[in-house]
Amino acid sequence: MKEEDLSLIKRYPIVEYLERKGIKPVRRTPSYALYRSPLREETHPSFKVDTQKNLWIDYAESRGGSIIDLCMRLEGCTLSEAICRLGQNASDKGTYSSLNDFVPNNSQPVMAVNGARRLIEISDTLPPHLQEYLTKERCIDMEKAIPFLKCISYEVRSRLYQAIGYANLSGGYELRDDKTFKGTIAPKDITPIFTDRAEPVCIFEGFMDFLSFLSMKEEITNHCLVMNSVSNVSRTIRYLNDRHLTHIRAFLDNDEAGRRAVQDFIKAGFHVEDMNIHYKDFKDLNEFHVSRVRERQKHKGQKQAHMSVTDQNQNKESKQVKHKMK
């Protein structure tokens, strides 16, 4: 990676990075933002972001650094993985936008404001490598998932990229590729699904969790809603209140942001069933779903292997009996 690219990544605002993870400051001034540490549970804020220098410090641990250091700590990844994750969205004008400068348009590809990205096409057909990612890595039932997905083709610095697109209520898209990239085509919003069905409303943090739920169930009988980020809790609450919906099942991530979102729903007066009790040993619903599928595949393979050995033994015994009868 070029030195200027690394410098660009380090200029990605830490406050924006945390906001995208649903982590909001307790206090904000023109020069800094103060948080309850996202690295552990705490009641008193001890995590400070210097918004002018774009550096963070955790006073309780006496540790800090750049956006790259924070990404490594928060996401449990290596230096090269952090640079890759943060660098995929960095534009050549020194801003970081996660494709927020795109405007979705099916018929007329548009240039991004800074010229760094160009939307090429929004298609109903996912290419084989994205389908393979969903089926093999995420264990998603493609027959059920396809009606909810698009293929987003875009260009960055003359290189063509493709990502899975999941539409929201305002015409924007959540994006994910088959590696580490996650982004958004603005505007960002929630995605209600099966709105004519009954309560409780099933609430999902991201679309991969919804697709997992879809793959796990024979039939969906409930109203569903994908928040597309825990930062959309307020929008979700407004949506539910506007429709006089009071009972929800929360399928959120097993992290601090997910737990705070559940508490926000409870404080807003909703009857909440916190469903992550069923996948408490996993980070989210998709990881739980993948584990279940892998376990079933393992048992199926063992059963087939056992049946094969049994058949071989039976054939051997049959031959021995026939030999004795001669």
The string of DSSP codes covering 152-205 is EEEEETTEEEEEEEEE-TTS-EEEE-SSS-EEEESSP--EEESTTSEEEEEEES
165 and 230 in a single domain? The answer is: no
Nearest to 308 by CA among 322, 316, 323: 316
Is the Cβ–Cβ distance between 257 and 75 less than 8 Å?
no
pLDDT at 220: 93
> Would residue 274 count as lying in a domain?
yes
b or e along 218-253 (b: 16 or more beta carbons within 10 Å of the residue's beta carbon)? eebebbbbbbbbbbbbebbbebbeeeebeebbbbbb
277 and 174 in a single domain? The answer is: no
244 and 279 in a single domain? The answer is: yes
> Would residue 108 count as lying in a domain?
no
> Would residue 206 count as lying in a domain?
yes
- Given a cut of 70, whether residue 89 has pLDDT beyond it is no
CATH number, position 289: 3.40.1360.10
> Would residue 224 count as lying in a domain?
yes
Relative to beta strand 117-123, strand 149-156 is: antiparallel
261 and 282 in a single domain? The answer is: yes
pLDDT at 147: 93
Banded pLDDT at 92 (limits 50, 70, 90): very low
Out of 69, 87, 105, pick the residue that ends a domain.
87
322 and 228 in a single domain? The answer is: yes
pLDDT at 294: 95
pLDDT at 56: 92
Out of 185, 204, 220, pick the residue that ends a domain.
185
Banded pLDDT at 107 (limits 50, 70, 90): very low
76 and 158 in a single domain? The answer is: no
CATH number, position 36: 3.90.580.10
Out of 66, 87, 108, pick the residue that ends a domain.
87
pLDDT at 322: 56
pLDDT at 214: 96
> Would residue 98 count as lying in a domain?
no
> Would residue 316 count as lying in a domain?
yes
165 and 283 in a single domain? The answer is: no
pLDDT by residue (tens digit) across 268-301?
A: 999 999 999 999 999 999 999 999 999 998 887 7
pLDDT at 159: 84
313 and 228 in a single domain? The answer is: yes
pLDDT at 267: 96
> Would residue 100 count as lying in a domain?
no
pLDDT at 99: 37
- Given a cut of 60, whether residue 115 has pLDDT beyond it is no
pLDDT by residue (tens digit) across 142-162?
A: 999 999 999 999 887 788 889
pLDDT by residue (tens digit) across 15-51?
A: 988 887 778 899 998 889 999 888 877 778 889 999 9
238 and 122 in a single domain? The answer is: no
> Would residue 24 count as lying in a domain?
yes
Domain that holds residue 9: 3-87
> Could you give the strand order of the β-sheet that contains 159-167, starting from the edge strand earlier in sequence?
117-123, 149-156, 159-167, 173-176, 182-185
198 and 136 in a single domain? The answer is: no
Number of folded domains that form the chain: 3
315 and 228 in a single domain? The answer is: yes
153 and 238 in a single domain? The answer is: no
